[in-house]
């Protein structure tokens, strides 16, 4: 089974060195392929190009939707493209972001669910915990499913209540960037639809040089990064499948620094430990620390068990 790892130009070398240092974590070298997404110039709030240094334009990766541009054949024989996937006999692709510690790689339940439903494209969903949680939500617009990104939803809309179940928010289906695609569908996106994918605006703190050539590190957002998202392609298929999964089993994102109360290294470790504790308890294990109190800090090697079996 192949593993494709997309990085930016800023993270490629460090990522490859890390994986090489750990001997590809026991995987065959030929089955781990790296490829690079394109970068896009950064803009000021009024649309002018930002200089990172004198004579150098500030650029940033164009979002995880850069996957589709990266798969376009550029003539390099060893480049990751739809063509090279087909040569390897690949029919289905499971795509996920790197920040979810509970992701189930190549999940047979999810892939099987999508294949059984003849889906070209699929997504895992979880119920949102709070109206302002930083996940997009699946909505239907003009009979087409789309993901409304959290940064593009007003507070009023995010807090709307379900008219039937008033104790729940209306837009509840959180997209966790965990997707299934057929290679045929990816090829259709790459060859036909990628240019029509719309950019999303992300306001960021972007280092810049002023007219005198002095470089500044802003403390507040001063510019715009243009991004496309991997889920922007939902509108191009009628064969779309959604699988709702338990958050505690499959979603614990790492988005904030150590010490943050939510989505931090500490919460990721806690959630992984809790999941593996449940696996072991179900198998009959019992936990006690040195003082006799119940302990839940544990981790099961993926070489031993995939999901508690």
Tell whether 192 is covered by a domain: yes
Residues 249 and 149 in one domain: yes
Residues 98-153: tens digit of each pLDDT? 999 999 999 999 999 999 999 999 999 999 989 999 899 999 888 899 999 988 89
Residue 90 confidence (pLDDT): 96
Residues 41 and 144 in one domain: yes
- φ, ψ for residue 265 (rounded to 5)? -55, -35
Which pLDDT band, with edges at 50, 70 and 90, does 297 fall under?
confident
Residues 244 and 266 in one domain: no
Structure tokens at 291: 């003082």
Q: What is the pTM of this model?
A: 0.90
Rg of the chain on CA atoms, in Å: 21
Tell whether 6 is covered by a domain: no
Closest CA to 231 of 35, 67, 83: 67
Residues 110 and 226 in one domain: yes
Closest CA to 49 of 40, 61, 39: 40
Residues 173-185: tens digit of each pLDDT? 999 999 999 999 9
Exposure pattern of 126-147 as b/e (b: 16+ CB <10 Å)? bebeebebebbbbeeeeeebbb
Helix, strand, coil: what percent of the chain each, to 5? 30, 25, 45
Q: Taking a C-beta distance cutoff of 8 angstroms, is the pair 94, 107 a contact?
A: yes
HEC profile of 84-115: HHHHCCCCEEEEECCCECCCCCCCHHHHHHHH
Which pLDDT band, with edges at 50, 70 and 90, does 76 fall under?
low
Single residue among 213, 234, 253 that ends a domain in this structure: 253
Exposure pattern of 65-104 as b/e (b: 16+ CB <10 Å)? bbbbbbbeeeeeeebbbbebbeeeebebbbbbeeebbbbb
Tell whether 277 is covered by a domain: yes
Tell whether 30 is covered by a domain: no
Single residue among 235, 253, 271 that ends a domain in this structure: 253
Here the CATH number for the domain that contains residue 97 is: 3.90.550.10
Tell whether 111 is covered by a domain: yes
Residues 188 and 44 in one domain: yes
Residues 159 and 298 in one domain: no
Residue 203 forms beta bridges with which residues? 224
Residues 130 and 243 in one domain: yes
240 three-state secondary structure: strand
Tell whether 21 is covered by a domain: no
- Cβ neighbourhood burial of 17 (10 Å; 0-12, 13-18, 19+): exposed
Tell whether 5 is covered by a domain: no
Tell whether 69 is covered by a domain: yes
Residues 223-271: tens digit of each pLDDT? 999 999 999 999 999 899 999 999 999 999 999 999 999 999 999 999 9
- Overall domain count for the chain: 2
Residues 166 and 271 in one domain: no
- Distance (Å, whole) CA 224 – CA 203: 5
Residues 46 and 191 in one domain: yes
The whole domain housing 275 covers 262-308
Residues 223 and 96 in one domain: yes
Residues 81 and 110 in one domain: yes
Which run of H or of E encompasses 13? helix 12-21
Residues 227 and 292 in one domain: no
pLDDT of 14 higher than 80:
yes
pLDDT of 6 higher than 70:
yes
């Amino acid at each position: 089974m192949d593993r494709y790892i997309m990085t930016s130009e800023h993270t490629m070398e460090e990522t490859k060195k890390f994986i090489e240092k750990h001997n590809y974590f026991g995987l065959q070298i030929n089955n781990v392929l790296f490829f690079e997404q394109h970068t896009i110039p950064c803009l000021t709030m009024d649309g002018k190009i930002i200089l990172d240094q004198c004579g150098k334009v500030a650029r940033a990766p164009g979002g995880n939707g850069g996957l589709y541009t990266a798969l376009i054949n550029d003539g390099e024989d060893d480049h990751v493209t739809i063509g090279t996937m087909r040569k390897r006999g690949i029919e289905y692709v499971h795509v996920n972001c790197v920040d979810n510690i509970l992701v189930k790689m190549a999940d047979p339940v999810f892939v099987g669910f999508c294949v059984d439903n003849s889906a070209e494209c699929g997504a895992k969903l979880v119920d949102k915990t709070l109206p302002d949680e930083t996940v997009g939500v699946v909505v239907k617009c003009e009979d087409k499913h789309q993901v409304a990104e959290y940064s593009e939803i007003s507070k009023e809309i995010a807090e709307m209540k379900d008219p039937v179940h008033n104790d729940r928010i209306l837009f509840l289906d959180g997209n966790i960037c965990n997707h299934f695609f057929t290679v045929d569908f990816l090829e259709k996106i790459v060859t036909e639809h990628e240019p029509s994918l719309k950019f999303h605006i992300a306001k960021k703190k972007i280092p810049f040089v002023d007219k005198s050539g002095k470089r500044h590190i802003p403390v507040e957002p001063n510019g715009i990064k243009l991004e496309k998202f991997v889920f922007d392609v939902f509108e191009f298929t009628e064969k779309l499948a959604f699988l709702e999964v338990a958050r505690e089993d499959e979603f614990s994102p790492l988005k904030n620094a150590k010490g943050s109360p939510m989505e931090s290294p500490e919460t990721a470790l806690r959630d992984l430990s809790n999941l593996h504790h449940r696996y072991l308890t179900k198998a009959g294990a019992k936990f006690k620390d040195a003082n006799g109190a119940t302990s839940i800090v544990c981790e099961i090697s993926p070489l031993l068990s995939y999901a508690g079996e």
